[in-house]
Amino acid sequence: MSRIAWRVQVKISSMEVVSENSSSQARELYVNRRKAHYEKMAARPQKSGTLGAGYQRQLQRYYQLFVPRNQRVLEIGCGNGDLLNAVAPEYGVGLDFSPAILEQARQNYPHLTFLEQDAHALSFDEPFDVIILSDLVNDLWDVQQVLTALKSCCHPATRLVLNFHNNLWGPMLSFARRLGLLDPQQEQNWLTPEDLEGLLKLSGFELVQRRPLILFPLNVPVLTRLFNRVLAHLPLVRAFDLTHFFIARPVPEPLSQPPSVTVVIPARNEAGNIKNLLERVPAMGASTEIIFVEGGSSDDTYAVIEKLLPDFPEQNGRLIRQTGQGKGDAVRAAFECATGDVLMILDADGTVAPEELPRFYDALVSGKGEFINGVRLVYPLGDRSMRFFNMVGNKFFGLLFSWLLGQPLRDTLCGTKVLWKKDYEQIAANRAYFGKLDPFGDFDLLFGAAKLNLKIQELPIRYGARTYGDTNISRWRHGVVLLRMAAKATAKLKLI
C-alpha cells in the first residue's frame, strides 16, 4: 500500500471512530437528559384529577383486555408500576432507568420485580409471554435497536403489546401542558403507524393487530363512556383517536420436526358421506388421526361409521358419541380427546373437499398464521351450495368481526378451521369470558383466538353443494343466536 493510500485509510478509520463515538455520546446525552427529567418528575406529587391520570386509567383498562391474566410479563419503561400491576401477571418484571421512580414502584408493588436498566442497553435474556411498551417508542433514541434487543426476551408465542400517540394530537397535548393538565415532557418521536410497522418488520416482528383507541382521555361521567366505548370505534372517527395500540409477534422460525394432526368430523345425519370421507382425507404431518363425533342422528350415521372404520385402518379413525347438543359441543368433545398437535375441523357434508386440508396444515406449520380460517366467498360457489340469506348473513358477520377483532375476516362461519392444540387449550381455559351461546363453535373459536392475540390467517377454498342429506342449520333461529353472541362479544371487546 502506498504512503498516500495508507494515510487516506487511516484518516477514514479515524473519521469512523469519531463518528461512532459522536453517535454514542449523543445517545448518552439524550438518555441522561431524559433520566434527569423523570427523576425530577418522580419528586412531584401526583395529581389524580389531571388529564394524564385519566389517560393512564384508561390505558390500564385496555391493557387488561389485551394481556391475559397470570402471564409472564415484562414491561420496558415501567414507571411507577401501576400498569404492570393492573395486568395481574403471574411473574412481572418492570425495567426503567429512573432510580427514584423504581423506588416508588417497589414500595407500591413488592410482589413484582423492578430493575434499573436503560432500554437501549437491555441485558435481559429471560423469555416472557408478554412484553409491554406503553408510550415508550415516542421517547426512544433508537426504536429499532430496542425492538431488536427484545428478541432475546421472546419465545415463539410471545406477544409484544405497545401503544403510542397519534400525531394529530401533538398540538392539543402541547396546549394541555401549557395549561398544566399534563406533566412537562421532553421532545418526542412522532411515529406514524406505518413507521412503527416498518420498524417492527426490520426488528424481526410481525404485526397481529392494530387498533386506534381513546378519543376522550378525561374521566367525566357519561362523556367518557360515550366517547371511548362507542364513538372511538366508529370508522370515520377512529383516525382521531389519541393512541394506537399494536400487538405483534416474533417472526416464526421453521419447525425442527413435523407435528401430528387430528381431523375432527362432526357427523349428524351424514350416513351417506362417511365412506367418501374415509377414502379422501389425506395423511398429514408426522401422523394423522380422524375423530368422528356423532350425536342425535335420525339416520344410521353412528352404525355406518362403526362398520366402516375397520375397513380403513390407515386412517387411524375413532368414533365418539356426543352427549350434548350442537356442532360446537361436538367439536369441543373431540378436541378434548384429540392426540394431535394440530387440530382440524372438517364438515361431514363434503362441501369442502378433504384434499384442501394439506393447504391449511402448511399455512399453520409454516407460521403464516396461528389460526387458519377457511373462506368460501372468494371463488364462485357451487350450485345450491349457499342460500341467498345465508350469503347475506356471512358477509354481515364478516364485516362485523373484522371490526370487532382488529383483523380482516371475510367468512366467520366456514366450518373448516385449523389451530394448534396448545392454543385451543388456552381458548378453552378462558371460555368463560365470552360464554357458551354459540351452537356451532365458530364464534367461540374466533373470539377465543382474538382474545389470545393469535394471528388469524384466512385461506380461500372452493365451496360445493352437499351430495347427501339436508343442512342442520336453521338460518333464522340460529341467526338470532349468532347475533346475540356477536352483541356479547361487542360488549366484551369494544364497549369496555
The CATH number given to whatever domain includes residue 427 is: 3.90.550.10
Q: Show Cβ contacts of residue 242 under 8 Å, excluding neighbours closer than 6 positions.
A: 55, 165, 166, 169, 213, 214, 215, 217
Q: DSSP 3-state assignment of 6?
A: helix
Same domain? 364 vs 485: yes
**DSSP letter assigned to residue 411:** -
Tell me the CATH number at 73: 3.40.50.150
Mean pLDDT across 299-328:
93
| Rounded Cα–Cα distance for residues 394 and 385 (Å) | 13
Query: Quick one: pLDDT at residue 321?
Result: 94
- Per-residue confidence band for 434, with pLDDT thresholds at 50, 70 and 90: confident
Q: Based on the domain organization, do 413 and 347 belong to the same domain? A: yes
Q: Do 393 and 275 share a structural domain?
A: yes
Residue 116 to residues 43, 103, 132, Cα–Cα distance (Å):
17, 10, 16
Dist CA 426 CA 101 (whole Å): 35
- Tell whether 203 and 284 lie within a shared domain: no
- The pLDDT value recorded for residue 476 is 54
Q: Is residue 28 part of a domain?
A: no
Q: Answer yes or no: is 128 within a domain.
A: yes
What pLDDT is attached to residue 24?
80
How high is the pLDDT of residue 6?
Answer: 42
Show the cell assigned to 474: 336453521
Distance (Å, rounded) from C-alpha 192 to C-alpha 244?
Answer: 9
> 268 in a domain, yes or no?
yes
Residue 360: its pLDDT value, please? 96
- Interval 157-170: pLDDT, tens: 999 999 999 989 88
| 269 and 244 share one domain | no
Q: Which amino acid is residue 353, in one-letter code?
A: A
Q: Is the residue at 30 inside a domain? A: no
Q: What's the chain's average pLDDT?
A: 85
Among 24-38, 152-166, 167-181, 392-406, the range of highest mean pLDDT? 152-166
Residues 246 and 267 both lie in one domain: no
pLDDT of amino acid 413: 73
Alpha-carbon distance 276 to 102, whole Å?
Answer: 65
pTM > 0.75:
yes
Partner residues linked to 114 by β-bridges: 94
pLDDT tens track for 374-415:
987 766 665 555 555 566 666 777 677 777 777 777 777 788
3-class state of residue 95 by DSSP: strand
Please check whether residue 485 lies inside any domain of the structure: yes
Instruction: Identify whether residues 180 and 309 lie together within a single domain.
Output: no
User: Which of 229, 250, 271 represents a domain boundary (last residue)?
Assistant: 250
Residue 318's contacts (CB-CB under 8 Å, 6 or more residues apart) are: 289, 290, 291, 292, 309, 337
Residue 159 sits in the same domain as residue 303: no
User: Residue 5 — very low, low, confident or very high, per pLDDT cuts 50/70/90?
Assistant: very low
Which residue in this structure is represented by grid cell 389460526?
371
* Same domain assignment for residues 241 and 175: yes
Do 293 and 206 belong to one domain?
A: no
What is the rounded CA–CA span in Å between residue 109 and residue 80? 9
Asked whether residue 54 carries a pLDDT value surpassing 50, the answer given is yes
Query: 258 vs 327, which has greater pLDDT?
Result: 258
**218/226 Cα distance (integer angstroms):** 12
- Co-location of 202 and 317 in the same domain: no
pLDDT at 208 over 90: yes
pLDDT of 121 reads 87
pLDDT band at 50 (very low <50, low <70, confident <90, very high): low
pLDDT at 9 over 60: no
* Residue pair 419/343 in contact by the 8 Å Cβ criterion: yes
pLDDT band for position 262 (50/70/90)? Answer: very high
**DSSP secondary structure of 313-364:** GGG-EEEEE-SSSSHHHHHHHHHHH---SEEEE--TTSSS-GGGHHHHHHHH
According to the model, what pLDDT value does residue 10 have? 41
C-alpha cell at 400: 362485523
Least confident of 187-196, 237-246, 378-387: 378-387
156 within 8 A of 253, measured Cβ to Cβ: yes
> What torsion do the CA atoms of 291, 292, 296, 297 make, to the nearest 10 degrees?
180
The count of other CB atoms within 10 Å of the CB of residue 247 is 21
Q: Is the distance from CB of 340 to CB of 306 less than 8 angstroms?
A: no
Give the per-residue pLDDT at 94. Answer: 97
Choosing from 250, 274, 291, the residue where a domain stops is 250
Nearest to 259 by CA among 234, 288, 301, 230: 288
- State residue 147's pLDDT score: 96
Pairing mode, if any, of strands 342-345 and 288-294? unpaired
The range of the structural domain enclosing residue 174 comes to: 47-250
Answer yes or no: is 142 within a domain. yes
Say what the pLDDT of residue 132 is: 98
Does pLDDT of 18 surpass 70?
no
Rounded-to-integer distance, Cα 464 and Cα 386, Å: 9
The closest of 125, 103, 129 to 116, measured between CA atoms, is 103
| Residue that the C-alpha cell 394506537 belongs to | 244
Exposure letters 371-410 (e unless 16+ CB within 10 A, then b): bbbbbbbeeebeeebbeeeeeebbeebbebbebbbbbebb
Bigger pLDDT: 371 vs 221 = 371
Determine the residue type at 335. F
Q: Per the structure block, which three cell numbers stand in for 349?
A: 357434508
Last residue in a domain, options 194, 215, 250: 250
Lowest pLDDT segment from 20-29, 47-56, 81-90:
47-56
Helices (H), strands (E): how many in the chain? 16, 14
Q: How confident is the model at residue 487 (pLDDT cuts 50, 70, 90)?
A: confident
Asked whether the predicted pLDDT for residue 184 surpasses 90, the reply is: no
- Judgement on whether residues 110 and 227 belong to the same structural domain of the protein: yes
Q: What is the mean pLDDT of residues 87-109?
A: 95
pLDDT band at 417; cut points 50, 70, 90: very high
* Number of domains observed in the structure of the chain: 2
Calculate what percentage of the chain has a pLDDT beyond 90: 53
Q: What's the pLDDT tens digit per position in 441-463?
A: 778 898 889 889 999 999 998 87
Q: Is the pLDDT of residue 217 over 60?
A: yes
Q: What is the pLDDT of residue 305?
A: 96
Query: Residue 295 above 70 pLDDT?
Result: yes
pLDDT at 28 over 60: yes
Q: What is the largest CA-CA distance in the chain?
A: 96
Q: Give pLDDT, residue 393.
A: 64
In this predicted structure, the answer to whether residue 309 has a pLDDT above a threshold of 90 is: yes
User: Distance between CA atoms of 267 and 177, rounded to whole angstroms?
Assistant: 64
Give the pLDDT of residue 123.
83
84: cell is 404492570
C-beta of residue 228 within 8 angstroms of C-beta of residue 214: yes
Average pLDDT over residues 204-225: 90
Domain contains 20 = no
pLDDT at 47: 57
Section 65-93 average pLDDT: 95
Q: Is 39 a member of any domain?
A: no
Check pLDDT > 90 for residue 294.
yes
